[in-house]
Amino acid sequence: MRNLLLSFILFTVLLSACQNNKKSSETDVLTVTQLLSNVDQLIDQELILTGTVNHVCSHSGRRCFLLDSLGDNTIRVEAGGEIESFSKELMGNTIQVKGFVREDRLTLAEIEEMELEVLEKHPEDAEADGETCSAEMANIHKMREWMKEPGKDYYAIYYVDGLSYDLVE
């Protein structure tokens, strides 16, 4: 009787462990919006991301950009792992990408250097207050605003290091 009880307890523990492992190895599929709303907590984690391909880099195809269903948010996906390149035929199609979330950081000094380069390159765009009408300066100002809001001393650029992808039918 005692052996039967011990066997039952051991079986229950093993069954529970197997179910817990299965749950922790399953990966939820995230949308671009879900990823970006939680991106700080997902850095260096493996995930599956779904989105519509709205751009494939034309020179090498080594990166593409996924758009959310509302057309508001995009994220860059770098080719890696099993992905040699992204085909231009993917544009407009929905894919699921397995990969790791990564973060690059631009320091305030790097952003200031970018701003000086833009002003030197386009002095004709400079207005009286030192701003320019170019898209480059608009991006620099967005970076500065992003840094002010949470009080960070860097600008984060998030992307996905792709391992594999599947076309969603």
Beta bridge partner(s), residue 39? none
CA 38 vs CA 54, 92, 103, 149: distances in Å: 22, 25, 13, 17
Angle of helix 135-148 versus helix 108-121 axis, rounded to 10: 160
Q: Which two tokens stand for residue 38?
A: 């939680």
From the number of C-beta atoms within 10 Å of its C-beta (0-12, 13-18, 19+), residue 114 rates as middle
Beta bridge partner(s), residue 95? 51, 167
Q: Please, are residues 52 and 134 in contact by the beta-carbon 8 Å criterion?
A: no
pLDDT of residue 1: 44
Q: How many CB atoms lie within 10 A of CB 132?
A: 20
User: pLDDT digit string (tens) for 38-93?
Assistant: 999 999 999 999 999 999 998 889 999 999 988 889 999 999 999 999 999 999 99
For the whole model, what pTM was predicted? 0.72
pLDDT of residue 65: 96
- In angstroms, rounded to a whole number, what is the distance separating the alpha carbons of residues 108 and 105? 10
- In angstroms, rounded to a whole number, what is the distance separating the alpha carbons of residues 146 and 74? 16
- For residue 4, pLDDT over 90 is answered with no
Region 31-38 average pLDDT:
94
Q: Which two tokens stand for residue 116?
A: 């000086």
Give me the residue spans of the domains in the chain. Answer: 28-167
Q: Which two tokens stand for residue 120?
A: 């030197």
CATH class, range 28-167 = mainly beta
pLDDT of residue 123: 60
Answer with the residue of higher pLDDT: 62 or 122.
62
Q: Please, are residues 32 and 47 in contact by the beta-carbon 8 Å criterion?
A: no
Determine how β-strand 94-107 pairs with β-strand 46-56.
Answer: antiparallel
